[in-house]
Amino acid sequence: MDYARGNEVIQATANIVTEVVNGHADGGAFAGHIGGDDFVVITPPERYEKICLGIIDSFDRTIRDLYDPDIERDFVS
């Protein structure tokens, strides 16, 4: 994965985390980017599971758009 593609993945992840937290937290949570590929979510305990599952679900759907089948082929050969 080149730098540009990695940057796209980090930006997509930031968008996902922000959207999911804003959608589930009713203003009672915080999403932040520490740096690199590190993110933090601060939320009341009763909301963490829905937020985590929402992030995972959205990431799994979004990452397909950034997948490059040529990279896998290079590693499998």
Question: What does pLDDT average to in each consecutive run of 10 residues of the chain (77 residues)?
Answer: 80 95 84 92 93 96 82 56
Counting the structural domains of the chain, the total is 1
- Residue 76 confidence (pLDDT): 53
- Residue 64 confidence (pLDDT): 85
- Residue 68 confidence (pLDDT): 72
pTM of the model: 0.79
- Residue 24 confidence (pLDDT): 81
Find the domain containing 29 and state its range: 3-76
* Helix-strand-coil split of the chain, %, nearest 5: 70, 15, 15
- Residue 74 confidence (pLDDT): 54
